[in-house]
Structure 1
Amino acid sequence: MRWRDLAVVMPVICLFASGAVAQEGDPAAGETVFKKCAVCHIADTDKNKVGPSLNHLFGRTAGTHPNFAYSPAMQAAGKAGLVWDDATLRDYLHDPKLKVKGTKMTFVGVKDDTDITNLIAYLKQFSN
């Protein structure tokens, strides 16, 4: 490959690389977003509040955290196969009532995709 060709290819490679990093999110920024959620949820310990604990959320079937009284809609979503991962959580966080019709969660959702990405990165810290 000639230097001239490399000059064309390198910016493209850098663009893809930066997109991959941006997609992973910033846990510190996600912690700030989580303040909206912290009124009802906790992530760093396995304790329920008004909402269920979000500790070890990823890979959990919806509506199954012990000792929490889920809505029938959330229980049904879990029985229908809803498992929390990046994609399902992203959809839910964007519009909870659209993702799980009949959920008792009153939060309207997080509308900014970057905020959701950062929030997911924050929550993943507590899913190991």
Structure 2
Amino acid sequence: MNMRIASIFAICLGATPLWAESHASGDAEAGEKVFRKCKSCHMISDDEGNDIQKGGRTGPNLYGIYNRVAGSVEDYRYGDSIVAAGEAGLTWDEESFTGYVADPKGFLAEYLDTKRAKSKMSYRLRDEEDAKDVWAYLVSVGPEVTETEEATE
């Protein structure tokens, strides 16, 4: 490769933000470490069934969570409140994810405007930076979003 092409290539690589960075403010590398707390209940497996992170099956697969309607992973039995939140328009982005993992029941109660909301998720990831880091990690290992999907954000 001649020097000019190599230089242009290097500039392009350095100037192109990573996809995850445009959808997450946390540190994906740190999030991978924090995710160890999550994998007792959650796994990350791509659409072909390849394990990105082996984990439990108590919680839903977190692959492709960005912009996913809450309570919508096929073959997973969600609680009524998270399904109702999804039906009411809840989709996962950094703000909703970090709010939910900090206090799942409280988040759903506020979102659904009812004190009767319940959550099957008992663990709370109260540290906001840890939650942002986990979100960045999940986005970084998930599928890229198409232009059509981004237009619906």
- TM-score exceeds 0.5: yes
- 2:122 and 2:132 map into 1 onto residues whose CA distance is 21
Equivalent residue, structure 2, for 1:105:
121
RMSD over aligned CA atoms reads: 1.9
SS in 1 for 2:41: coil
- 2:43 and 2:142 map into 1 onto residues whose CA distance is 12
Pairing partner for 1:117 from 132, 135, 140: 132
Q: How does 1:22-101 map to 2 (within 5 A)?
A: 24-46=25-47, 49-100=57-108, 101=117
- 2:41 and 2:34 map into 1 onto residues whose CA distance is 13
Q: Which residue identity lines up with residue 64 of structure 1 in the other structure?
A: S
Unmatched tracts of structure 2, length 5 or more: 1-20, 50-55, 109-116, 144-153
TM-score, length-scaled by structure 2: 0.64
1:61–1:82: 8 Å Cα contact kept in structure 2? yes
Q: Which residue identity lines up with residue 24 of structure 1 in the other structure?
A: S
TM-score, length-scaled by structure 1: 0.75
Unmatched tracts of structure 1, length 5 or more: 1-19
- 2:93 and 2:25 map into 1 onto residues whose CA distance is 13
Task: Out of 45-54 and 97-106, give the one that drifted further.
Answer: 45-54
Give the ranges of 4+ consecutive aligned residues of structure 1 lying more than 6 Å apart after TM superposition: none
